């Protein structure tokens, strides 16, 4: 398999990565599974006597074209007018095709077992999912959204940290930069740790079998949760009459540097997810489930990249 088998319009692997985020090898890992699921969906539609959309079938005839179409949207995040122009269709057809292709693509990533977990009902369920993991690295990521018109919605999504309207998600990784868990999307007003406690009830022993690495956004974690070890940087004390010198000691500064060297992994994998412009650009989509779906798919594709790299 080579680039010519994908598209005559793509000149080299660098260009393929620029428009899909995948290498040739990764593209052909996904394609046969995606193709099989597309065919299964067509057969099911025939059995259920579901008619195809009016005249749209010929626009993207082959599974590889459909896969490039979807990956191009996620990677470059064009408007539907731009997407339609690049694939020789109008805005309405581009919109129809995109939402038609999403389900088999989600099933493809699920089949490859690269989608992160999105919910745990019990600590035992989480322990089973993470049974080969010793250390969890926890952080939150923000995604800019279009400024809402409604004042109350604006206030709910306002992130004081970055002075923008945003959505936020909790992300948990292992030391290989593999995204193990992706939390639900919260409005930007929510504090990282407050959001986390809504997802993981502090009354339950979620992390007693894990080492945890976090930043100061999760200050108080070691008091609320039982863990093997909790690695959190030393916080600079508040200045007061009794404590006019608020500087950290040399030992504390050294320990912070060492912890940050290991925790920087979280910045690497969040940057990996944000290779996809649908996650990093100002989010325009008003369909409710899309705010969760886009970052879920970007995380799944990143995990495919990590899995592929570790297998080499």
What pLDDT does 123 receive? 92
Q: Are residues 136 and 266 in the same domain?
A: yes
Determine the length of the chain.
312
User: Residue 152, SS3?
Assistant: helix
> pLDDT digit of tens for each residue in the chain (312 aa)?
666 667 767 778 888 899 999 988 899 899 999 999 988 877 776 666 555 554 455 578 888 899 999 999 999 999 999 999 988 889 999 999 999 999 999 999 999 999 999 999 999 999 999 988 999 999 999 898 888 888 888 888 888 776 788 999 999 998 888 999 999 999 988 888 999 999 999 999 899 989 998 888 888 888 899 889 888 887 777 776 666 677 777 777 777 777 777 777 777 778 888 889 999 898 888 888 899 999 999 999 999 988 876 554
pLDDT in tens, 180-212: 999 999 998 888 899 999 999 999 989 998 999
186 shares its domain with 206: yes
Residue 121 CB burial class (10 angstroms; 0-12, 13-18, ≥19): exposed
Reduced to 3 states (helix: H, G, I; strand: E, B; else coil), residue 283 is strand
8 Å CB contact between 120 and 126: yes
Instruction: Kindly state whether residues 100 and 167 are assigned to the same domain.
Output: no
- The answer to whether 97 and 56 have CB atoms below 8 angstroms apart is yes
Question: What pLDDT shows up at residue 198?
Answer: 93
What's the token pair of residue 188? 């930007």
Q: CA distances (Å), 158 to each of 94, 147, 150, 185, 290, in order? A: 32, 9, 12, 14, 20
Same domain? For 152 and 270 the reply is yes
Q: Residue 55's pLDDT is what?
A: 44
| Domain count of the fold of the chain | 2
Q: Both tokens of residue 103? A: 């389900």
Same domain, 135 and 282: yes
Hey, which residues does 213 pair with through a beta bridge? 137, 231
Residue 231 contacts residue 263 (beta carbons within 8 Å): yes
* pLDDT confidence of residue 310: 53
Residues 165, 211: one domain? yes
φ, ψ dihedrals at 219, nearest 5°: -60, 130
145 and 195 inside one domain: yes
The C-alpha atoms of residue 251 and residue 253 are separated, in whole angstroms, by 5
Final residue before a domain boundary, out of 111, 146, 162: 111
Domain boundary residue, one of 111, 145, 179? 111
Residues 171 and 257 occupy one common structural domain: yes
The whole-angstrom separation of Cα 157 and Cα 92 is 30
Tell me if 50 is assigned to some domain.
yes
What is the model's pTM? 0.86
Same domain, 255 and 211: yes
Same domain, 157 and 256: yes
Q: What is the pLDDT of residue 312?
A: 41
Percent of the chain with pLDDT over 70: 89
Domain boundary residue, one of 51, 82, 111: 111
Q: Where are the alpha helices (DSSP H) in 112-150?
A: 123-129
Of 205, 184, 181, 196, give the one whose Cα is nearest residue 123.
Answer: 205
Q: Do residue 11 and residue 102 come from a single domain?
A: yes
Q: How many CB atoms lie within 10 A of CB 189?
A: 17
| Within-domain flag for 280 | yes
DSSP summary character for residue 122? S
The pair of three-digit structure tokens given for residue 173, joined into one six-digit string: 């990784």
Question: Can you give the residue range of the structural domain that contains 85?
Answer: 3-111
Domain assignment present for 299 = no
Residue 86, in any domain of the structure? yes
Whether residues 87 and 217 fall in one domain: no
* pLDDT score, position 155: 86
Query: 267-289 burial by CB neighbour count: b if 16+ within 10 A, else e?
Result: eebbebbbbbbbbbeebeeeeee
Is residue 159 domain-resident?
yes
CB 157 within 8 A of CB 166: yes
């Amino acid at each position: 398999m080579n680039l010519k088998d994908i598209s005559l319009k793509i000149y080299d692997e660098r260009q393929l990565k620029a428009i899909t985020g995948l290498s040739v090898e990764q593209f052909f890992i996904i394609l046969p599974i995606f193709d099989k699921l597309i065919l299964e969906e067509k057969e099911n539609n025939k059995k259920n006597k579901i008619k195809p959309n009016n005249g749209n079938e010929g626009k993207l005839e082959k599974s590889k074209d459909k896969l490039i179409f979807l990956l191009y949207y996620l990677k470059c995040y064009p408007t539907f007018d731009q997407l339609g122009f690049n694939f020789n269709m109008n805005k309405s057809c581009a919109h129809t095709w995109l939402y038609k292709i999403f389900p088999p693509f989600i099933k493809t990533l699920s089949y490859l077992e690269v989608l992160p977990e999105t919910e745990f009902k019990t600590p035992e369920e989480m322990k089973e999912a993470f049974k080969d993991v010793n250390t969890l690295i926890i952080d939150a990521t923000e995604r800019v959204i279009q400024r809402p018109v409604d004042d109350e919605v604006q206030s709910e999504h306002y992130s004081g940290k970055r002075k923008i309207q945003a959505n936020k998600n909790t992300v948990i990784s292992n030391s290989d930069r593999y995204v193990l868990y992706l939390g639900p999307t919260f409005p930007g007003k929510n504090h990282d740790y407050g959001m986390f406690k809504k997802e993981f009830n502090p009354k339950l022993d979620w992390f007693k079998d894990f080492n945890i690495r976090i930043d100061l956004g999760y200050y108080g974690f070691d008091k609320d949760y039982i863990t093997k070890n909790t690695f959190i940087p030393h916080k600079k004390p508040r200045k007061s009459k009794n404590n006019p010198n608020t500087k950290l000691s040399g030992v504390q500064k050294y320990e912070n540097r060492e912890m940050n060297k290991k925790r920087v992994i979280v910045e690497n994998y969040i940057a990996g997810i944000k290779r996809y412009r649908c996650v990093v650009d100002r989010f325009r989509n008003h369909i409710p489930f899309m705010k969760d779906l886009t970052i879920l798919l970007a995380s799944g594709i990143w995990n495919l990249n990590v899995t592929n790299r570790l297998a080499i």
